[in-house]
Structure 1
Amino acid sequence: MTTENRALHLLLKPGMSLMRRLHFPAKMLLMGLVLTVPLGWLTAQALRDVHQRVIDTRAEVKGAAIAADLLDLIVLTQKHRGLVNRALAGDTGVETALADTRSRLGRTVHAVQLDVDTLPGLGLEKSWTAIDAELRRIAGGEYPREAQASFRLHTELVEAQRRFLVLSADRSQLLLDPEATTFHLMHLAVEQVVPWSEALGRMRGEGAALLHRAAPAPSEMHHVFAHQQLLAHQIAAAELSIEALARQSESRPASFDTAVQRSREFAQRVEAAFAPGAAPMDPTAYFDAGSTAIEQVAATGHAAAGRLSELLIAREARLQREWLLALASGLGTLLGVSYLAIVFFRTSFGAVRVLQGSVAQLAAGDFATRIRLRGTDELSVVGSTLDEMTGRISQMVSDIRSNSSMVAQAGLKLADDSRSLSERTEAQASSLEQTAASVHELTTAVNQTAQAAQEADALAGQVSRSAEVGGEAIGSAVKSMTDIQASSRRVQEIIGVIEGLAFQTNILALNAAVEAARAGDQGRGFAVVATEVRTLAQRSAASAKEIKTLISESVAHVETGVQEIGRSSETFASIAGGVREVADKLRDISTNTGEQSAGLAQISQAVQHIDELTQQNAQMVEQAMHSSTQLSQRAERLSQAVGSFRLRQGSADEALALVQQAVELYRSKGEGALDEITRDAEAWVDRDMYVFAFDRGGIYRAFGGNASRIGTSVREVRGVDGEKLVRDTFECAEHGGGWVDYDFANPTTGVVDLKTSYVEPVTRDLVIGCGVYKTRGVPVATGALEMQPLRVEQRLRLVAA
């Protein structure tokens, strides 16, 4: 932390510590007091200052009015002084003017008295009383009858009035006027006009008296010339004030130039009247010229005082407007600040209370609350952010709840399958034990077979050799029988010759008998011999025939024997070849049996190893079943834990419960249940969950709370792959129901989100379902959530995961 940050931290630490201990209303009250108290004080001070300036300006207006009356009074006093001075010098023509002047003087004194009486706050009474008494005596004709004494008295009264004028200007704040224009007008009217007119008055009075004398003293004329020089000084001072007014863009009084001109002309007249060797001058004309100049100076004073009064009255009005504006601004500011503070308090504290209540509801597990803060300020942004965070937490908890519910279902299914797998594994282990025993017996039998095959191989060798000997003997027999067959054919040929001879003999005997018969008695003996020969020939033919028959049969038998012996020879040859082949095969069998015996030994070891693995698998399956049961229980506890939260979205267990209720309703009411599901939105619509039903054609038969969807196709829904949804749904229905993932428009947001629905068939062509929306990237099921048979390794990996 830098030095500046540390210093800033030390500076802010007490206030931050205080603010951390105060509640929001106390903070607002403290900030309101810190803001409104100084603001109210400053506003009051500003109002007081403006009001004081209004009072001062009013006093200045009254002071300006007194100044105007006092200017008249001073001018009349100066005029009375001059007239008295002329009268005392022997001028008898001034009585009328003197009487008129006294009358006007009395009225003016009364007017000033009224001004003093109306301004008791200025404290002018005491100073005015003495002046008032002297003026009233003079107005009543009580004044010294000696010229110098009278002139001195009047001069003292003029000076007293001038001082009173300055006092009244001081008491009325005219002398301290804060603005340049009015200050210079005041300076001209109050501080310059009277000395100017007094210089003229003295020149007029003294000069007029001197002109009535025959020979005035030089000192007296020098005294008049001194007043002339004083007049020039007063005129120059007045011109400086006029120049100052011009710099303030204020026009000079209308009679100022005339007053200057008349004053200078009168000064020239004085110089002309009292210059050495000057011609005598009429005192009346001289006095009138001075009076004219004084009247013009008085008019200048009155014009300045009038303009001063106008400006002061305008200033008073302006200050009153400023006061009212300051009052209105102050009250408006206070009211505005108070209004804004109240509005800020109500909006901010209301927003804080809403946020506090929302956070309390969130802490209590209520994520279904919508945080709605109107506006675009930081608290509204915080509310919107908190609402968005609540929605995401609700979605996350909904996903957790849905997935935990599905994991619990999958865990139960896995536990059942693990139990079945355990039973099958145990049966497989028993079978493997029997197989191992059988393989051992088979190994023993194979070994015995190998030994028998070796013995059979030896016997086959002997049989092969015997068969070869028998084959040679049969070959010799075949040769002998062939020779016999050839001899029998030769005998048969001989017998044929004998048959021919017997036939020829018979023929000869017959012929002999015929001849004997022809010979008669001479041929009887020959006939007898012929008969005997014929008989012998017949008997020889019959015997030859019998022999031939016997020979033929013998030949046939010999031929048959030859054939049989040939076939026996071939058979013996085949047997000999077969015996050789058998010997070869037995030799191969013996060799293979040895190899088989070795292989069976390896198989026996492998079966024993498999048996051991099967036993281990059985244990692991038991562990997997235990783990899956624990997984199901933990998922169930997790589902129960998150089930206490109130969510904005529905969850899988709630959707499953709605589907089960709808299925029960359909089983009890049949097709009438579909209309009830569509009509009764309160029972079948919950937040973003609704029960629906559609057939194989994708036509909605029921839609919770939305009758307009009945008869429409799921394929018409925006953002939905209707063909895939219908196909996946009814594939899942063929397995008894389950979860299907697809994209669908969320009715609460109008946005196409990922949705998973539990569907369950109620008929072959109709399913009822209800779905929940979930976060993308967290798949719950692919198609139907069905636990297909898994290999042991897959299940173990699943349990491990």
Structure 2
Amino acid sequence: MNVQSWLDRLLLWQKFIVLSLIALLLASIPTALYLREADKALDAAERETAGLAPSTAILKVIQTTQQHRGLAALVLGGVAGAQEKRDAKQRETDEAYEKMDAIIRSFNNKAIEQAWEAPRRDWATLRGQVTSRSISVPDSYAAHTALVPKLLVVNDLIGDLFGLSLDPDLASYQLIQAMYYQLPYLTEETGKMRAKGAGMLAKQEASLEDRMALAAIAARVNDRIVQTATAFNKSVAADPSIKDKVGAQWQEAQELTLKTMQLATDQIVRAETLSYPGTDYVAATTKAIDAQFTANQAASKELESMLKEKVASLRSTRWTMIAAMLGLIVLAGLVARLIARSVSVPLEHAVQISQRIAQGDLTASFTLEGRSETAQLMRALKEMNDSLVNIVGSVRGSIDTIGFASNDIASGNSDLSSRTEAQASNLEETAASMEQITSTVRQSADNARQADELVSSATAVASKGGQVVEQVVQTMGAINDSSRKIVDIIGVIDGIAFQTNILALNAAVEAARAGEQGRGFAVVASEVRNLAQRSASAAREIKDLISDSVQKVDAGNVLAADAGKAMGEVVDSVRRITTIMSDIVHAAQEQSAGIEQVNQAITQIDEMTQQNAALVEQAAAASESLRQQAGALSEAVAVFTLHEHDATRAVPAPAHSPARQLLLSKRARTV
């Protein structure tokens, strides 16, 4: 599993925790480095503070050794009253060595122990020699002088062990250099000057070599004063408060040392006779050395105060930094939590809204604040929700419209189906009527042919009438009978024409009801009606002629004498009848053909009506399927929940669909 897939599996708050841990790790590294350096500085300051006591102790050893050197020179030089002071100083020096020995052993440092072993051993030897007075003044001076540098080496090692020689602060460093490294050498040179001069004054004689040696010592004292003053002034420049606390002591020590140096120059180096009291000289130089150590003690107290303040400051700074880092970590944690919540809470809200939308609930409320990515996401979700609301509202409105339209279509199809069935029934009745009309027309045609035959016979008889006058009465009787039959036939033809006219009128009415589909049938029915009217007119004319013929036949019976003359008129009438009968036969044939066409048209209309009925049934089934699908779609859309004001924004269904309006308009035209 790579890092990317691992990150993809983490939740957002878990990712923020990972980032927080990384940030904490990044912050902990410099913090740890700072604490490490702070601890180093604190340890160094604490070690320096702890090193003040050993340094003061070794300086005490140096001081007592130097003092013992001067007193030993007096005792060995035969100065009365110096023995008691030397003995007291010896005891003090022994205590200082014993104390220092215990301190050095506590260090457990071989280098310091080895450096300390030589001066401790030398002191033990030297004190015994001075006590037994088995050593001369020059040798005592030389032994003491050789012992002090060894003690100064121990002082340097102690300073290195406790870090006093490497203090990072300029003020304390220069003060340490002045009081712990330069001042001990000043006291040593002053002590040499005291011991050397005391020996000369004790003997009250000095060679040129001794005088030059003392002058050299005085010169070194002056150099040490300058070096010590330089370091002290640097510390004061770095921290002026040092002057207020140590300046007076150092100034006094400096002045007393200069006076002592001047005293040695005037009373020993340049004096012709050494008459100055040795005890006064030792007292003056001792006072100067004591002033130097007093300045050292004041500096030690100031250093201790400075180092303690430094330790306290370092501790305070360290704890302040720790508190600040902890505060920053807590603040960063709070800010990270706020940032995480500012991201995770809107995302959780977005997820909840998305789930509600997925479940069909479009009534979620949106909080749109800020311009962050999460705010943009919420705006996008709101736009999507609004779009879905509009879409669902439109779909619901469309579903309602489709439902109303499908209901109207179903209702119209049902009405159309019933009307089509009624039309089919009427067409069946019309077809039956046309069957009757066809039969009647055929019968009329047969009668017309029979009448034509009779007329032909009458024509033949009339042609022969002139030849067979004698048979006029009998023939007229036959004509009378035939004329009566013709009257009956003409009556039948007249009835047929009347019935044909009635049937044609009914056909025209049915054609008008059929609309556009019955227009051809209406034309045929009109032609049939015209033929029927012409047939009726011809039948009436024939009837009138036959009636006239009957009258004439009757008159012929009375007027037999006029038979020949009347026969000519009969021939003419028969000829006209022949023409009329031909017209009647032709009209009957045309009427029969027209009725056949009407019958075919009705048959076609019946077939079309049956097809229309089938199409109407299919349309009804389709409209029912559409209505069911609209219902299913409505159920599917019903899953979505809208606000009441959003639901009312759906597209309203029309009062009547276009199909419904067309159906109503057709009904209105039919009525």
Aligned match of 1:263: 257
Change (3 A) 1:359 1:99: farther
Measured after TM superposition, the shift of residue 184 of structure 1 is 1.1
How many Å separate the matches in 1 of 2:89 and 2:35? 47
The one-letter code sitting in structure 2 at the alignment partner of 1:395 is V
Matches within 5 A, 1:59-208: 59-116=47-104, 119-120=107-108, 124-135=112-123, 145-208=135-198
How many Å separate the matches in 1 of 2:38 and 2:220? 41
Which ranges of structure 2 fall in alignment gaps of 5 or more residues? 424-511, 534-604, 666-671
Aligned match of 1:243: 233
Contact 2:69/2:140, CA 8 A, preserved across alignment: yes
Measured after TM superposition, the shift of residue 329 of structure 1 is 3.5
Matches within 5 A, 1:4-19: 19=7
Contact 1:19/1:27, CA 8 A, preserved across alignment: yes
Q: Secondary structure at the match of 1:92?
A: coil
Measured after TM superposition, the shift of residue 60 of structure 1 is 0.6
Measured after TM superposition, the shift of residue 305 of structure 1 is 1.7
Contact 2:61/2:93, CA 8 A, preserved across alignment: yes
Which structure shows the higher strand fraction?
Answer: 1
Aligned match of 1:639: 634
How many Å separate the matches in 2 of 1:150 and 1:55? 43
The correspondence for 2:404, drawn from 405, 410, 417, is: 410
Measured after TM superposition, the shift of residue 191 of structure 1 is 1.2
Matches within 5 A, 1:636-785: 636-645=631-640, 647=641, 649-650=642-643, 688=644, 772-774=647-649, 780-781=651-652, 785=655
Change (3 A) 1:65 1:117: same
Aligned match of 1:293: 288
The correspondence for 1:305, drawn from 300, 304, 308, is: 300
Cα offsets for 1:473-501 (capped at 9, x unmatched): xxxxxxxxxxxxxxxxxxxxxxxxxxxxx
Q: Secondary structure at the match of 1:215?
A: coil
Q: Secondary structure at the match of 1:780?
A: coil
The one-letter code sitting in structure 2 at the alignment partner of 1:145 is I
Change (3 A) 1:638 1:227: farther
The correspondence for 2:318, drawn from 315, 320, 323, is: 323
Contact 2:214/2:269, CA 8 A, preserved across alignment: no
Aligned match of 1:437: 521
Measured after TM superposition, the shift of residue 282 of structure 1 is 2.6
The correspondence for 2:413, drawn from 407, 411, 419, is: 419
How many Å separate the matches in 2 of 1:47 and 1:137? 51
Measured after TM superposition, the shift of residue 193 of structure 1 is 0.9
Change (3 A) 1:150 1:275: closer
Change (3 A) 1:238 1:277: closer
Measured after TM superposition, the shift of residue 623 of structure 1 is 9.7
Change (3 A) 1:64 1:417: same
The one-letter code sitting in structure 2 at the alignment partner of 1:39 is A
Change (3 A) 1:620 1:61: farther
Q: Secondary structure at the match of 2:163?
A: coil
Matched, 1:232 2:222: yes
The one-letter code sitting in structure 2 at the alignment partner of 1:410 is F
Identify which range, 257-266 or 169-178, moves more after superposition: 257-266
Change (3 A) 1:619 1:403: farther
Change (3 A) 1:247 1:359: farther
Paired-residue identity, %: 18
Measured after TM superposition, the shift of residue 624 of structure 1 is 8.5
Matched, 1:272 2:266: yes
Change (3 A) 1:623 1:124: farther
How many Å separate the matches in 1 of 2:287 and 2:514? 154
The one-letter code sitting in structure 2 at the alignment partner of 1:187 is Q
Contact 2:360/2:639, CA 8 A, preserved across alignment: yes
Matches within 5 A, 1:474-489: none
How many Å separate the matches in 2 of 1:398 and 1:72? 103
Contact 2:73/2:199, CA 8 A, preserved across alignment: yes
Identify which range, 42-51 or 19-28, moves more after superposition: 19-28
Identify which range, 209-218 or 179-188, moves more after superposition: 209-218
Which structure shows the higher helix fraction?
Answer: 2
Aligned match of 2:35: 47
Change (3 A) 1:172 1:127: same
Cα offsets for 1:255-277 (capped at 9, x unmatched): 11222222222222222124445
The one-letter code sitting in structure 2 at the alignment partner of 1:257 is Q
Contact 1:40/1:334, CA 8 A, preserved across alignment: no
Change (3 A) 1:262 1:340: same
Matches within 5 A, 1:24-43: 24=12, 27-43=15-31
Contact 2:59/2:184, CA 8 A, preserved across alignment: yes
The one-letter code sitting in structure 2 at the alignment partner of 1:92 is A
How many Å separate the matches in 2 of 1:410 and 1:180? 101
Contact 1:106/1:139, CA 8 A, preserved across alignment: no
Change (3 A) 1:440 1:82: farther
Change (3 A) 1:420 1:139: farther
| Pairwise CA RMSD | 4.3
The one-letter code sitting in structure 2 at the alignment partner of 1:105 is T
The one-letter code sitting in structure 2 at the alignment partner of 1:89 is G
Measured after TM superposition, the shift of residue 388 of structure 1 is 3.2
How many Å separate the matches in 2 of 1:298 and 1:290? 12
Measured after TM superposition, the shift of residue 354 of structure 1 is 5.3
How many Å separate the matches in 1 of 2:256 and 2:26? 59
How many Å separate the matches in 2 of 1:315 and 1:103? 38
Measured after TM superposition, the shift of residue 194 of structure 1 is 0.7
Matches within 5 A, 1:230-629: 230-250=220-240, 251-252=242-243, 253-254=246-247, 255-278=249-272, 280=274, 281-337=276-332, 352=347, 355-356=350-351, 358-367=353-362, 378=372, 381=375, 384-385=378-379, 388-389=382-383, 391-392=385-386, 395-396=389-390, 398-400=392-394, 402-416=396-410, 418-419=412-413, 430-439=514-523
Change (3 A) 1:288 1:392: same
Change (3 A) 1:415 1:97: farther
The one-letter code sitting in structure 1 at the alignment partner of 2:91 is S
Cα offsets for 1:372-394 (capped at 9, x unmatched): 89x97958636754763575256
TM-score by length of 2: 0.62
Contact 2:174/2:234, CA 8 A, preserved across alignment: yes
How many Å separate the matches in 2 of 1:642 and 1:364? 12
Contact 2:48/2:164, CA 8 A, preserved across alignment: yes
Change (3 A) 1:398 1:121: farther
Identify which range, 143-152 or 186-195, moves more after superposition: 143-152
Tell me: higher relative CO, structure 1 or 2? Use CA pairs within 8 A at least 6 residues apart. Answer: 2
Measured after TM superposition, the shift of residue 400 of structure 1 is 4.3
Aligned match of 1:215: 205
The one-letter code sitting in structure 2 at the alignment partner of 1:262 is L
Change (3 A) 1:367 1:59: same
Cα offsets for 1:162-209 (capped at 9, x unmatched): 111111111111111111111111111221111111111111111221
Contact 1:266/1:293, CA 8 A, preserved across alignment: yes
Contact 2:366/2:378, CA 8 A, preserved across alignment: yes
How many Å separate the matches in 2 of 1:643 and 1:82? 119
Change (3 A) 1:322 1:407: same
Change (3 A) 1:786 1:17: same
The one-letter code sitting in structure 1 at the alignment partner of 2:521 is A
